[in-house]
Amino acid sequence: MIILKNVTLRRSAKVLLEGASVTLNPGEKVGLVGRNGAGKSSLFALLNGNLHEDSGEFSIPAQWRMGQVAQDMPETEQSATDFVVDGDTTLLAARLEVEAAEATDDYDRMAHAYMALQDAGAHDAPARAQALILAPLTARQREDFLHLLDKLVTKNNAYSRAPSDTSR
């Protein structure tokens, strides 16, 4: 569980949180809203270890990993699915090892590299990425989103999806 007890968080002289306390249990879903400059991003920086509390106590289980999307996404020609897949560092490392192994005559290394690629989930990485992208949507919203995406693809010819994706 994530625990904040009487946490104060400052950015320069500005106090963003003062005496904040909350306990978030596994499985709870929490929304964080606020005006620009209220401290939402700073709170996430505290949660992911990029900032430290100025006072109070903060704890998060060491084995927990946090995923987040940057506020400013880079402009790219890459599809959203490919962008998410490229963020899988374990899969990326396995792909790079396969490339390196294939450049040698070390067949044992190649075998291990391909096993690591399999273990990293290369076979279903695009499907998992699309599930992450569309997870918060209801079935109807997902269907509408994919329909809109198809319209954009046809118009801009900038994104292509496998035919199986249209069945959602």
Its pTM stands at 0.44
Query: Cβ distance 79 to 28 under 8 Å?
Result: no
Q: Which residues make Cβ contacts (< 8 Å) with residue 60, sequence separation at least 6? A: 2, 3, 47
| Local confidence band at 157 (pLDDT 50, 70, 90 cut-offs) | very low
Query: Cβ distance 122 to 91 under 8 Å?
Result: yes
List, for residues 26-36, the tens digit of each pLDDT value. Answer: 877 777 777 88
H/E run at residue 16: strand 14-24
Question: Look-up: residue for tokens 């199986």?
Answer: 164
List, for residues 51-87, the tens digit of each pLDDT value. Answer: 889 999 999 888 887 766 666 666 778 888 888 888 8
Provide, rounded to the nearest whole percent, the portion of the chain with pLDDT above 90. 25
Q: Using CA atoms, how far apart are residues 32 and 87, in angstroms rounded to an integer?
A: 24
